[in-house]
Amino acid sequence: MAFALSALNVTSPAFANHQAIPSKHTGEGENVSPALAWKDAPEGTQGFAVICHDPDAPLVKDGVYGFVHWVLYNLPGDITELTEKTAEGTPGVNDKGDVGYFGPMPPEGHGKHFYYFWVLALDHQTSLPEGLTLAELLKELEPNLLGMNRLVGTYQRD
């Protein structure tokens, strides 16, 4: 399946769609992942993955633009939410080079950035190793993608 939006509905108690992400969840705050919830997963969903990407970051790495803040996978198909600072799933490598979540922190004076929290629904439960990059993860997941959607948050440094 191609990467196309589905009816999956992604929300967070921390911020509404296209609204500001609280500083607690940023690189300037406590740098903890926000709680996320989703519903209306496609029929046959057996697993999930979560990605947070900032397409506004002025970076190009391996031919890909923006900055990857979070790669999380091996999430079971029967969950519909992640708690704040979740221990669920298996973390991948963010573009800072660390394993796990790294919150928004655009360059000073760069204005408002948009952060896409993607939830991907999969046709099977994955058991991939820790530390995959976004490119490595998407290569593994694409053949098994049933649907996806996102929650968009914003953040701007003072």
pLDDT tens, residue by residue, 26-63: 999 999 999 999 999 999 999 999 999 999 887 666 66
Which residues are CB-contacts of 8 (< 8 A; sequence separation ≥ 6)? 38, 39, 40, 41, 42, 119, 121, 147, 148, 149
Which residues are CB-contacts of 42 (< 8 A; sequence separation ≥ 6)? 6, 7, 8, 121, 146, 147
Per-residue pLDDT, 118? 97
Q: Please provide residue 40's backbone torsions phi and psi, each rounded to the nearest 5 degrees.
A: 65, 40
Domain membership flag for residue 3 = no
What's the CATH code of the domain at 66? Answer: 3.90.280.10
Domain membership flag for residue 34 = yes
Domain membership flag for residue 57 = yes
Domain membership flag for residue 150 = no
Domain membership flag for residue 157 = no
Domain membership flag for residue 154 = no
Domain membership flag for residue 99 = yes
How many distinct structural domains can be found in the chain?
A: 1
In this predicted structure, the answer to whether residue 1 has a pLDDT above a threshold of 50 is: no
Q: How much is the mean pLDDT over the chain?
A: 93
Domain membership flag for residue 155 = no
Q: For the sheet containing 36-39, what is the strand order?
A: 9-11, 36-39, 81-82
Per-residue pLDDT, 65? 77
Rounded Cα gap, residues 105 and 95, in angstroms? 12
Per-residue pLDDT, 107? 86
Give me 95's structure tokens: 């573009």
| Average pLDDT value for residue range 72-78 | 97
Q: Which helix (H) or strand (E) holds 150?
A: strand 145-155
Residues spanned by the domain of 108:
9-144
